[in-house]
Amino acid sequence: MRVLVTGGAGFIGSHIVDELLREGHEPSVLDVRRPPPHLAEAADVRWHHADIRDPAPLRHALRDVDAVCHQAAMVGLGKDFADAPAYVSVNDHGTALLLAAMADAGVERLVLAGSMVVYGEGRYDCPTHGPVRPGPRGADRLAAGEFEPPCPRCGAPLVPGLVTEDAPTDPRNVYATTKLAQEHLAAAWARATGGRATSLRYHNVYGDRMPRDTPYAGVASFFRSALEAGRAPRVFEDGGQLRDFVHVTDVAAANVAALTSDTVRPEGELRAFNVGSGERRTIGEMARALADAHGGPAPVVTGEYRLGDVRHITASPARAHAALGWTPRVAFAPGMRAFANAELREAG
């Protein structure tokens, strides 16, 4: 299969290119960045050095391809709301331009880099009222160290659970809003063209080639960059936030499985899949595992917080296992040991 990978020079995208090559496919790449060193001389990969929002090279890149794996995006929570125009421009306008060009070129398969952030908070159960959906956490409660969202009906403590793909979406920040908009655009494209669209809702992806020292990277990169610089990882809140940390090679394998499966993407529809390890871990656990494997310094729990962060978000990957035949291979403990000394890339 001939697959255009947008953002294929980046962290996740470059691993997808690796996996496509291993599986005997023909990847090409559209990215504003230069390829990583191990792919720079790859004779069997075509490189289009361009922005996703530049129509001419985008049209050229889509010639003679069978599918698109759309990874190009501005990621992370960012610095403040001043980032909003850039997020919308890259993530949503860029996606709209890509989908329009795909419609013109007759490309009918799309796999989108989705995100678990579209759910907002994860699933919660109240002992009295059953499944409930707590609202955004306010600054007053967070400043007082009250990090757990209470039952919105009775105020009781809640039990976090696993989110399924059918849960209502509730994006809590600009980045999350743009990721959900990408899914809506892809669904509209599929209905209009009869194309097949899949969104892979990534959980907290980590692994080699993560960008270092940037406010747009994930928490794993923040901690790993701090350790490399000899600083203690700074853990926000009390470190008890539940997340699912999934290795980038498993995410790449999920993308190739979605690209090559014909049984899970009915024509004219978008279907979403959670892509996670299935292991629930706290951010504090992750920081300690990295620090131990790196040889210190030990993490510091600061009590700081960021408005827009959610407390717990872990999801069931059962649908991806059943429909895609995909199973993650890298468990938390060995994955963190490897990542503790893995190569990071410079930001940008």
Active site residue 175: yes
Beta-bridge partners for 47: 29
Contact 152, 133 (CB under 8 A): yes
d(CA 311, CA 101): 39
Backbone angles phi, psi at 47, to 5 degrees: -115, 130
DSSP 92-138: IIHHHHHHHHHHHHT--EEEEEEEGGGG-S-EEEETTTEEE---PPP
CA–CA dist 36, 19 (Å, integer): 15
Q: Following DSSP, what letter does each residue of 67-96 receive, concatenated? A: EEEE-----S--SSGGGHHHHIIIIIIHHH
Residue 184 identity: H
CA dist., res. 132 & res. 94, Å (int): 35
Residue 103 near residue 91, CB atoms below 8 Å: no
The type of residue at 3 is V
Query: Looking at this protein, which amino acid is placed at residue 288?
Result: R
160: left (phi over 0), alpha (psi -120 to 50) or beta: beta
The pair of structure tokens assigned to 247 is: 């290795």
Among candidate residues 175, 202, 206, 305, the one labeled active-site is 175
The residues near 4 (Cβ < 8 Å, ≥ 6 apart) are 27, 28, 29, 30, 61, 62, 65, 67, 68, 69, 107
Report the C-alpha gap between 157 and 160 in whole angstroms: 10
The residues that are catalytic are: 175
